[in-house]
Chains A and B, each alone.
Chain A
Amino acid sequence: MTDFSGEPSGSHAQRQHWLSILALAPCATLEQALQQTLTVCEPPPLGWLRKPQSGLYMVRARAGGTGAQFNLGEASVTRCAVQDDSGRIGVGYVRGGNARHAELVALFDLFLQNDESRPQLLATVIGPLAERQAAARETASREAAATRVNFYTLARE
């Protein structure tokens, strides 16, 4: 399993990591990164395995945070899948309704599976995005920490 703050583990860890980073990235940033990527490497012939499609995932939670599962409510999700001529599949899943975002995630997922382009993309796209997301999270946490109450005791004279 993976989350945005922790280090992923397991055999799919790396792919889980970049998919989560891409899903949280601003669409415009990914669009820019794609244009840059295309100037340095020729993309393979691509086809749709699944065109962008919007739908719902039911969000589950647990009673008391740790108990029995219950259905909290749905979240809109957009997904798509692209395939290159070698049969490799790039998958894009994003929360929300932005089809282009899902496409960009799928494209990068595909490129990142290619051993030749992976190191470059991890360094120039995923790494900086991950850093920016971690920094934003830290800022939010420090802003919250500034509202932490420091109790003090009034001593009787």
Chain B
Amino acid sequence: MYVAVKGGETAILNSHELLAAARRGDEGVPEISPAQIREQMRLGVARVMSEGALYDEELAALALKQAAGDQVEAIFLLRAYRTTLPRFGYSLPVDSGRMNIRRRISAAFKDLPGGQVLGPTYDYTQRLLDFSLHAPAACKLPPCADEPLPAAMPRVADLLGHEGLMEAELPPAGDPAPGDLSREPLRFPADRATRLQNLARGDEGFLLAMGYSTQRGYANSHPFAGEIRMGEVALEIVPEELGFPIAIGEITLTECQMINQFAGSSTVPPQFTRGYGLAFGEAERKAMAMALVDRALRAAELGEEVVAPAQQPEFVLSHSDNVEASGFVQHLKLPHYVDFQSELELLRKMRKRHEGRKKVSVTEGNPLFGTGGKAHTEIAVGENA
């Protein structure tokens, strides 16, 4: 028999101290600083900012240190922290067309204006462990071209747009303000703006798997990485006391434009359609996965048959958030003593009933002996047992 009890206070306090010691590890090894994490673990920091839905490298690095490198825990810490801050307002839409580009590639056009710029990518590394990193070493200055990149790097999607081969992405009439999932709960049907916000803060692993499923045939999509670009954009706001826009800093973004076949409909001729991915920091895998899932979720809008999980907004959007998912899975660790007690009681009753049924079945319920016309005897006997 379980009974409700109080206690555990000392155990919890001691566990906090044990956790701090475990986080620190061997004191013979120098302690890591958030600044080191920010500078040398920048991709980890980017993921925490993206899914924590808060652009702040310092806080994300601190969260990673506190969480001992557990990304989902760090994301949770950042989400919790943001609730303590006031909301000043909304930025002007960032303009990825005016990005200071550090990487820009297209898998659809070889000779695009501005060229294929690889930037700092792991793509062409051989994935062999580099044992020289064991020892600290001075880093060489990277090579510099004589000329910077062209000031204007046209978006690949705009190149085809002129011929009408690419669906246009234009603001709807009046350029309405989008719904905000950080203020209102997710509701269905969810418009594209809501879906994009959900995906932007969605778990990279989940989106990667959903995007992968569309490539493997669970949704009829034939994507091309039309363009991926990464670099810095200005963050512009209109302060209430000024009334005109000012740039208050830069943020790093990764953008992916996926291009997909589209057979056309009764009103629209065949053309390429688009899936869009955008993420804080250097987060190419995330941006690509997001673009695949964004396109898959447009199935109903484009009149395509909805047959696969990645095309179902309720399924995708309700399960993409790793803070929610982790919370609900991990809440199973909380005391369920009373719930379990009632299940235990029930199970005991059922087993007793089962025992009774067995005795009956040997004599009357066994088909070998026939039922003797008493069709429901078993249940009646079981319930009375």
Contact = CB atoms under 8 A, between A and B. Distances in A.
Q: Chain A at the B interface: mostly helix, strand, loop or mixed?
A: mixed
A151 B179 CA distance: 45
B100 A5 contact: yes
B96 interface: yes
Given A61-B278, A94-B249, A95-B251, A142 B145 contact: yes
Interface stretch (A18-26, A28-36, A39-47, A120-128): A18-26
B234 A3 contact: yes
A86 interface: no
B175 interface: yes
Contacts of B171: 62, 66-69
A94 to B, nearest CB: 6
A56 B115 contact: no
B257 A142 contact: no
Contacts of B94: 59-61, 72
Contacts, number: 261
B115 A1 contact: no
A72 B200 contact: yes
A117 interface: no
Contacts of B101: 141, 144
B172 interface: yes
Contact size range, A: 35 or more
A64 interface: yes
A63 B56 contact: no
A4 B247 contact: yes
A144 B229 CA distance: 12
Given A74-B55, A144-B119, A57 B89 contact: yes
A12 interface: yes
A146 interface: yes
Interface centre among B158, B178, B236, B248 (most CB of A within 10 A): B248
B335 interface: no
A69 B148 contact: no
B155 interface: yes
Given A2-B246, A19-B247, A93 B178 contact: no
Given A57-B89, A72-B200, A97-B58, 15 more contacts: A2-B246, A5-B100, A23-B246, A55-B85, A55-B87, A59-B91, A60-B94, A67-B169, A71-B90, A73-B280, A75-B91, A75-B235, A141-B148, A146-B145, A147-B117
18 contacts: A24-B250, A56-B86, A58-B182, A65-B96, A65-B255, A66-B171, A69-B171, A70-B197, A71-B180, A94-B249, A140-B100, A141-B148, A142-B147, A146-B142, A148-B115, A148-B116, A149-B115, A149-B118
